[in-house]
Amino acid sequence: MARKYEELAQELEALISAGTLRPGERLPSVRETVASRGVSPSTVFEAYYLLERRGAVEARPRSGYFVAQRVADAAAEPRLMEPASGLRDVAVNDMVLEVLGSVRHRDVVPLGSAFPSPDLFPLDRLARGMSAAMRRLDPREVLENLSPGSEELRRQIALRYVATGTLASAEEIIVTSGAMEALNLCLQAVTQPGDLVAVEAPAFYGCLQALERLQLKAVEVATHPRLGVQVDALRAVLERHPVKACWFMPNFQNPTGALMPPDQKKALVELVTRHRVPLVEDDVYGELYFGVRRPVPAKSFDREGWVMHCGSFSKNLAPGYRIGWASAGRFAPLVERLKLTSTLSVAVPSQAAVLHFLQHGAFDKHLRQLRSTLARQQEQCVRLATRHLPAGTRVTRPEGGYFLWAELPPDIDALQLHRLALSQNISLAPGQLFSTDGRFRHHVRLNYGHPRPDQLEPALRTLGRLAARLATAR
């Protein structure tokens, strides 16, 4: 349930987005708002503080609250790029591993990282809970935690679905070694080598790597940088090609941060159900929303079990614990069987730690904090990117997650920029990683999940300088 002040903040943000309240304008005073809304003064204060943390408003001493001058509002969003047509072999692995391998060093500013900073997570509380749970563990539970996973953990996961109106019983949930394994097993359960899979454009490179490993072919579907995969475009693809599976991220897509509107999710599920094409839904960022409510998964519209929803605690609670899951609908028995014969089961201590935190750890409180931190960091990163990256740069402003997707001026090669930046100890994820043909070559994904303001501004200034040099060099 959203709290009152969150609802108020959301309404005010909507007014700001719609332009009803414009940058520099004064917000109604606390007294006026109390009178007009019938809420308590503390609710109004909380809402204003929240908006301030998100960078949407600013307090001026003795004058009240004003709509912030958001530099970012000046930056346009990246454009929808038509995907490559036809069926494509996938061979991104070499490039992805080269780029990811290069960004691990501690001295590198991790704008190219796929992970948020581990400092944002309650690692100490998790370790203490795990220790308590493991010491109370009946040794026989070691065997009972085998696949499909701890019964109580699966029940807790099922319970969290309820809040989004999603029907997913504990019976169809298989605990996996992170969402990566869940996604891979789901895809493998419904495809054979040579089969065709519909993917987003741009797509998460992990999806492309999975296709490559399983020797599947990709067909790309137009994906809007703010609104996600285009259902009409998918309809045309399904009518033309014998697609065996879709792999999409309706919530805070990687790399764009796009969020599909609920009616589009509904249309998507109706479409794949009609065509009897399984949808692998990657929803690892769904809990990292900045709005009032968790965006629903496409799975919430699934009535016939064609959606295989994959989630994880790696991005929102317990990085490195490797606890993910698949809620695999009608394909659950197949997925469980693949799990049993490939990695057998998931580490018991990790299952125990996450379960203990879900039961005793104030998960929702931790999530509220994490969301507010990420929202604040996005604001800052957008402001700095807009200030320092070359004129003409377009940036997404996702409503959740920790990635920005930036479209640089067309004469800047992102892979070159990545190599130059790395020589200055700055990483980024070049757009070439996110398609079968390296097409997003003047795009970059920037990670704002690392709260080091002292690093961020110098890094973006350097990036801007390098990008400008690349632009003039041509």
Strand bridging mode 217-224 / 196-201 = parallel
Q: How many CB atoms lie within 10 A of CB 154?
A: 23
42 SS3 class: helix
Residue closer to its own copies (CB basis): 60 or 140: 140
Q: Interface with its own copies includes 416 (CB under 8 A)?
A: no
Residue 402 to residues 115, 116, 262, 271, 343, Cα–Cα distance (Å): 9, 7, 21, 30, 30
Residues touching its own copies, count (CB under 8 A): 57
Cα–Cα distance for residue pair 13/261, rounded to 1 Å: 18
Q: Which two tokens mark 69? A: 């001058």
Q: Which two tokens mark 77? A: 């969003």
- Cis peptide leading into 202, omega within 30 of 0? yes
- Region binding its own copies by CB under 8 A among candidate stretches 141-149, 271-279, 281-289, 390-398: 141-149
Q: How many CB atoms lie within 10 A of CB 101?
A: 9
Q: Interface with its own copies includes 178 (CB under 8 A)?
A: yes
Q: Which two tokens mark 456? A: 């961020």
Q: In this chain, which of 60, 140, 276, 474 binds its own copies, going by CB under 8 A? A: 140
Q: In this chain, which of 14, 35, 76, 142 binds its own copies, going by CB under 8 A? A: 142
End-to-end CA separation in angstroms for the chain = 54
- Nearest approach in angstroms of CB 93 to its own copies is 7
For the chain, give the number of residues: 474
Residue closer to its own copies (CB basis): 145 or 230: 145
Q: Looking only at residues 300 through 339 of this chain, which bind its own copies when binding is defined by CB under 8 A?
A: 319-322, 337-338
Q: Interface with its own copies includes 345 (CB under 8 A)?
A: yes
- Nearest approach in angstroms of CB 284 to its own copies is 12
The set of residues, in sequence order, having a beta carbon less than 8 Å from that of 4 and lying 6+ positions away, is 39, 43
- Region binding its own copies by CB under 8 A among candidate stretches 63-71, 289-297, 348-356, 389-397: 348-356
Q: Interface with its own copies includes 350 (CB under 8 A)?
A: yes
- Nearest approach in angstroms of CB 362 to its own copies is 19
Nearest to 302 by CA among 336, 259, 271: 271
Residue closer to its own copies (CB basis): 1 or 143: 143
- Region binding its own copies by CB under 8 A among candidate stretches 33-41, 52-60, 134-142, 403-411: 134-142
Q: Interface with its own copies includes 175 (CB under 8 A)?
A: no
Q: Interface with its own copies includes 47 (CB under 8 A)?
A: no
Tell me, rounded to whole angstroms, the distance of Cα 376 from its chain centroid: 16
- Nearest approach in angstroms of CB 420 to its own copies is 24
The set of residues, in sequence order, having a beta carbon less than 8 Å from that of 47 and lying 6+ positions away, is 5, 6, 8, 9, 12
Whether the CB-CB separation of 245 and 280 falls below 8 Å is answered with yes
Q: How many CB atoms lie within 10 A of CB 105?
A: 11
Q: How many CB atoms lie within 10 A of CB 61?
A: 5
Q: Which helix (H) or strand (E) holds 188?
A: helix 178-189
String marking each residue 418-457 x if it binds its own copies according to CB under 8 A: ----------------------------------------
280 SS3 class: strand
For 326, list phi and psi in degrees, rounded to 5.
Answer: -120, 135
Q: Interface with its own copies includes 473 (CB under 8 A)?
A: no
Residue closer to its own copies (CB basis): 223 or 350: 350
- Nearest approach in angstroms of CB 140 to its own copies is 6
Residue closer to its own copies (CB basis): 56 or 120: 120
The DSSP result for 96-160, as a single string, is: HHHHHHHT-STTSB-TT-SS--GGGS-HHHHHHHHHHHHHH--TTHHHHTSTT--HHHHHHHHHH
Q: Interface with its own copies includes 217 (CB under 8 A)?
A: no
String marking each residue 87-126 x if it binds its own copies according to CB under 8 A: ------x---x------x-x------x-x-xxx-x-xx-x
Cα–Cα distance for residue pair 430/442, rounded to 1 Å: 8
Residue closer to its own copies (CB basis): 184 or 223: 184
- Nearest approach in angstroms of CB 183 to its own copies is 10
Q: In this chain, which of 18, 143, 391, 423 binds its own copies, going by CB under 8 A? A: 143
Residue closer to its own copies (CB basis): 21 or 348: 348
Q: In this chain, which of 174, 346, 381, 428 binds its own copies, going by CB under 8 A? A: 346
Residue 72 to residues 76, 204, 345, Cα–Cα distance (Å): 8, 25, 46
Q: Interface with its own copies includes 369 (CB under 8 A)?
A: no
Residues of this chain that bind its own copies (CB under 8 A): 93, 97, 104, 106, 113, 115, 117-119, 121, 123-124, 126-128, 130-131, 134-135, 137, 139-140, 142-146, 176-178, 180-181, 184, 193, 206, 209-210, 212-213, 319-322, 337-338, 340-350, 353
